[in-house]
Amino acid sequence: MELLPLEEEGHRHLIELTQLGGHLTDALARYTEFDSQLRASDSTPTPAFLQLGTLLERVAAGLRGPHRTPGSAALFTPDLTGRGHALAELEALWRSACAGASAAILIEGEGGIGKSRLCDEFLRHIEAECDGATILRARGHDRASGTALAATAELALALVGAPGASGASPAALAQLANLAPAIRDRFPSLPQHPSGENSLEDALAEVLTAVAGERPVLLYFDDLPLADFATQQTLMAVSGRVASGLLFLATGRTGDDRTSAYVELASRAGMRRLKLQPLSLRDIELLLGSMLELDPVSRHHLAQRLYAEAGGNPFFSIELTATLVDEGLLVPTDDGAWHLDVAETGKPIPLPATIREVVGRRLDRLSPETRAAVEGAAVLGRTFDPALVPDVAGLAPATWTVAQEELIGRRIVRDCTRTTGGNEFTHEIMHRVVYDLLPAQRRAALHRAAALVYKPGARRDARARTAFNYHRKQAGPSHPRGRRRMVIAAIVSVVLLGATGVGLLRTDAVHWDLQRVQVFPFENQTGDSTLATIGRMAADWINLGLVQTRLVTIVPTDATASKAGAAAATVVRGRFYADGDSLRFRAEVLDARWGSVLFALEPEASLRRSPMEAIERVRQRLTALLATHLNPQLSDWTSAASKPTTFEAYQEYAIGVELFLQLEYRASIVHYTRASHLDPDFAMAQLDAAIAYMNLGEFREADSIGQLVGRAAKRLAPFDRYWLRWMQAHLRGDRVGALEAVRQAAELTAGSEAWYQVGYEARALNRPHEAVEALRRLDPAKAGEHGWYPYWGQLTTSYHLANDHRRELEAAHRGRRQYPDILPTLSYEVRALAALGRTTAARQRLDEGLSMPLYDGWTPATLMRAAAEELEAHGYADDARAARGRGITWLKSRSSEERASQGQRFLLAQLLYRDNRLADAETLFRSLAAEHPDSVSYAGYLGVLAARAGQRDEADRITRWLRTVKRPYLAGLPALWQAKIEARQARTEQAMERLDEAFAQGRQIDLWLHTDTDLASLRNHPRFQGFLRPRD
């Protein structure tokens, strides 16, 4: 420290040692002194140093005050949330093993995602429910520290203690005893040198078969990639040789190094692979609720913070919550609930040592070049331009290319070039740990290199100038002893707005923060100076309401950008004046960057003796307006749509929007409905509830809401009015009217979801070019990582209808980059590959799909059906037949409960029908129709089956029944099935008439039109070809 007096790391360690030695006062004094030295030299303390100061203050406060936090030990053990599908998958495999089959599954995911917790929960369930089960456990150990076959020896020892092991031959048991000598304690008479040519794999397979013959076996191997190579080879050889009664369950961390044995085992036929995804925001909220009791608003906002920082990783989320408790930021109340310190809500959550250790171990596995690259990236920020990393980290471009691939492969960084234009760290936590682990000198050197990178563009580009100034400041003095201190004076232009005299910063040098708000005292225009305090009271009351939202930071009215950090981009001003015995209050919200008015509230009045009544109403309306305006998910339409008038209504609506984007439509309806009850005039909440009902197929409920909102149509905001017209037209099957209404709604907004609906309606009318143009107005990443994947379905379908399969494939690749592990986006890619004739690549994607988890109603069989239809439509009959066969096999491998479900029976019947296994298909369709006699589709399939079998009377009978079906919301479905039955009977003109009727009633033009084999006889008809041609 004498040589480098401003070197932070040494001072930080000295302060920590001082505090640990019991000299808290000295530690605080050292901290304050060094902090002053840093700031005097224009150096910014690192987050780790600032966190140390906060910790010292809290320790000191704890010694002064009587309050003691019970620590994180007071938290409940968190529930397993968001893993229902995975547990069901494991239970189905276990049932098949109990029934005499053998199965293998590999659970994969990043560190902390919950692989071991899921398996432990599953094993506890097996132990509790199944008395006659043998459970064998083993765990992989660090290959660098373990010995060869260490885990195999552990497994062998457990295996010979299981019931049935004595049924194996002495030679096999002796072979295992050579590996684990303790086995001889149970079988002392085993030969020392077993005869025969049995290998270790043969011996293990024989003993395991004997044990499985006694009762079902669950062999659980945790952290398989960490096991030694010999163990992985042995398991690969053994697990496929036990024919019955075995479930082999293994876990593996994505991003770890893979041996050839592991890759071969994971890709072996019959091995299922289940990749655990990060938890959704709703799952994080449920996880949090299982650990402690918080009020709903605080729980939701804390869940948002955890989700933003931990990226849905349950281990990180749990550890961050425990840290909040241990740091005294989350404290118990007298009634047993918990309270979150409001003052801490805008700050990053301190990172506990457990998280630093987990992330640190991942970083330690990187090659030196890749470690250098990720450190350079961390200095540039969580989101960074990959082109800058080589110059900052001092790497050759080719070295950076290899390092970037390694970082993406290990899930440390992800490629976002199609959305944000750069790369980003997968978690905020990942970025923080990489940056905080940098030694001070290394960090300063990297910031200095970054400043040099940005320097050439700093004069002509404001962003480059801002980045250059930031990195130069973070680099600190080049020569700590002889640094020349400079003071630069900045002249800021001021614009006076109205009579209030509010000073708004108008210079490119100012850094504006959209989440910072400045509320000025209301101007007293009554002429009575004794009422001046009311203006300050109004500002204070509004500030209190805004603080409670936890969405904004309040900037004092006497603060400048230099004192308060970033300048407030939003300003609230107002005035009040006398009107007889009343006072009237007017308020408006301004964009401080340009001086423009964002919102102006209608006057609120109250008696002169009770001004707080009007001030409270102003506060409620302003709070709701600003919360809606500053929420990025809602801000696109706020200028044209109705807005909540209370903050409580906004909160419920915002939660509803988040749930809707996560495809949790039923749950979103609950919150939309609460919002509309809290604010009956908030029409947008009611309309969005109706759309959620539509997505659930509950059109009658949606229609009822539309009729209710329509009673006050004249009072609706412009956006709401057009949105209602679109919904009503859509429900009655008026596609043209729906497109026109939603176009008008979209024109009122810049990037709202209305443009998605324009794309949907345009595509449904076979206007694919208009659909593409509308969809390209949207940012597909805006809904978040677990957000709106259907965007990519609409875009790729539109390109497909336009016969632009090259762009279709590009869009499919972008969709898979954003959602790499879900079946729907994989199907979009397969469809494009099929259209381009790239059948080998399509088959490879289908192989991948067999191991992917179920998602939003999609199964591997759904994928196979979609792929088979597209392959067949483009002339690849053999590939289509193979895909259908795989789908049928997958469905038949499911548990009896799953196979009995309506959805799986219908899917199996469809696959059998397209595979021309008509008798089997008919049996299923008849049973489904008997259970659901009003189903149009089941009756339609029986009609085309009758037509194909030459049973004209039966086909005509079903056609007549379809003509009697007049239920609403069917969008031409009965007419479509009539067209199919007529086409199968070679009644071409009648079939075309029914198709015309179906489209007139709202049936959308989609991919089915060129893949449906029941309509194959119509494809040369001029009118049918006209349906296929784009209409724009």
pLDDT, tens only, 188-246: 888 877 665 568 888 899 999 999 999 999 999 988 888 877 888 788 778 778 888 89
C-beta atoms surrounding 356 within 10 Å: 16
DSSP code at position 164:
T
Sign of the Cα torsion 910, 915, 920, 922 reads positive
Backbone angles phi, psi at 215, to 5 degrees: -165, 160
Strands 567-579 and 523-524: parallel
The pLDDT of residue 64: 42
The pLDDT of residue 493: 26
Distances (CA, A) of 916 to 420, 444, 586, 885, 910: 48, 70, 73, 12, 10
737-767 pLDDT, tens digit each: 999 999 988 887 655 678 899 999 999 999 9
pLDDT at 361 over 90: no
- Residue 326 CA to residue 349 CA, distance in Å, equals 12
Fold for the domain defined by 494-630: Rossmann fold (3.40.50)
Mean pLDDT of 983-1004: 93
Burial class (CB in 10 A: 0-12, 13-18, 19+), 130: middle
* Percent of the chain surpassing pLDDT 90: 33
Token pair belonging to 625: 């307006």
Task: Say if CB 874 and CB 835 are below 8 A apart.
Answer: yes
Question: What's the number of CA atoms in the CB half-sphere (13 Å) around residue 478?
Answer: 5
pLDDT at 961 over 90: yes
The pLDDT of residue 486: 28
In this structure, of 185-194, 348-357, 402-411, 559-568, the range with the lowest mean pLDDT score is 559-568
Sign of the Cα torsion 647, 652, 654, 655 reads positive
Query: Which CATH superfamily does the domain covering 636-752 fall into?
Result: Tetratricopeptide repeat domain (1.25.40.10)
Which pLDDT band holds residue 187 (cuts at 50, 70, 90)? Answer: confident
Report how far Cα 489 is from the mean position of its chain's Cα atoms: 46
Token pair belonging to 962: 């379809």
Task: Say if CB 745 and CB 728 are below 8 A apart.
Answer: no
- Residue 710 CA to residue 513 CA, distance in Å, equals 39
End-to-end CA distance of the chain: 73
Which pLDDT band holds residue 487 (cuts at 50, 70, 90)? Answer: very low
Which pLDDT band holds residue 882 (cuts at 50, 70, 90)? Answer: very high
Task: Say if CB 106 and CB 250 are below 8 A apart.
Answer: yes
pTM of the model: 0.52
668-701 pLDDT, tens digit each: 999 999 989 988 888 989 999 999 999 999 999 9
524-551 pLDDT, tens digit each: 888 888 888 888 888 877 876 776 566 6
Kindly report each contact of residues 527-534 with a partner whose C-beta sits within 8 Å and lies 24 or more positions away, as own/partner.
527/578, 528/578, 531/576, 531/583, 534/576, 534/583, 534/611, 534/615
Distances (CA, A) of 302 to 47, 82, 650, 786: 21, 18, 17, 18
Token pair belonging to 491: 């002249």
State the Cα torsion 36-37-42-47 to the nearest 10°: -70
Task: Say if CB 699 and CB 1002 are below 8 A apart.
Answer: no
In 3D space, the residue among 907, 864, 87 whose CA is nearest the CA of residue 899 turns out to be 907
In 3D space, the residue among 429, 501, 511, 412 whose CA is nearest the CA of residue 470 turns out to be 511
pLDDT at 259 over 60: yes
923-948 pLDDT, tens digit each: 999 999 999 999 999 999 999 999 99
620-677 pLDDT, tens digit each: 888 878 877 776 555 555 455 677 777 778 778 878 887 887 788 898 999 999 989 9
What is the pLDDT of the chain when averaged over all its residues? Answer: 83
The secondary structure of 232-272, three-state, reads HHHHHHHHCCCCCCEEEEEEEECCCCCCHHHHHHHCCCCEE
CATH number for domain 100-275, candidates 3.40.50.300, 1.10.10.60, 3.20.20.70, 3.40.1190.10: 3.40.50.300
Write the CB contacts of 399 (distance below 8 Å, at least 6 apart in sequence): 369, 373, 390
417-442 pLDDT, tens digit each: 766 678 889 888 899 889 988 888 88
Instruction: Provide the H-helix boundaries in 934-1017.
Output: 936-948, 952-964, 973-984, 988-1000, 1008-1011
The pLDDT of residue 973: 95
pLDDT at 608 over 50: yes
DSSP code at position 782:
T
